[in-house]
Amino acid sequence: MELLLVSMTSHGVSEYMDELAAKISSILSDAGVTLEINVWPGVFKPSLKCFDWERAQYVAQCLVDQIDKHFTVFKAGRKLLVVGIGYLDGYEYGLNFVFGEAVPSKGVAVVFSKRLKPDFYGDTPDPGKYLERLVKEVVHELGHLLGLKHCGSKT
């Protein structure tokens, strides 16, 4: 099985992609999970048809569908999971925002990193903390792509 990490913005994510891939590979290896991880060499620009101008946010499911359609030929005949990552803000209907969205049946997830940056909340910029949060969110969405669900336990 392969994992393809795709940058959806040319800043705020692209500069972290190689380090992100290395950290994810290490985490998966420690957990006994073997995935070949590749970084898409370009930037996948999300369509403005997925942008909600009133909210100034992208609709998560729309971007999942776009990525799935764009990479369909590339995915043909391969066990490939695709995670699009962008320095964007996203939401899903009924929620104010989401950090990410995964659709296991498509093997595609998106991660919105704008709210992962400490300075989004007025804190001092911290690239290390941002990368740590980015790694956690990508691994979280990857878990969903591999069939894990959220824990239902309240304890």
Kindly report the CATH number assigned to the domain that includes residue 39: 3.40.390.10
Task: Say what the pLDDT of residue 102 is.
Answer: 97
Asked whether residue 127 is assigned to any structural domain, the reply reads yes
Residue 83's domain comprises: 2-145
Asked whether residue 129 is assigned to any structural domain, the reply reads yes
Asked whether residue 154 is assigned to any structural domain, the reply reads no
Spacing of C-alpha 66 from chain mean position:
14
Asked whether residue 7 is assigned to any structural domain, the reply reads yes
Selected catalytic residue, list 2, 15, 19, 141? 141
User: How many domains, the chain?
Assistant: 1
Phi, psi for residue 32 in degrees, rounded to 5: 80, 15
141 catalytically annotated: yes
Rg (CA), the chain: 15
Asked whether residue 13 is assigned to any structural domain, the reply reads yes
Mean pLDDT by 10 residues, the chain (155 residues): 95 94 95 92 95 98 97 84 97 97 96 96 94 97 92 78
Sign of the dihedral through C-alpha 100, 18, 9, 78: negative
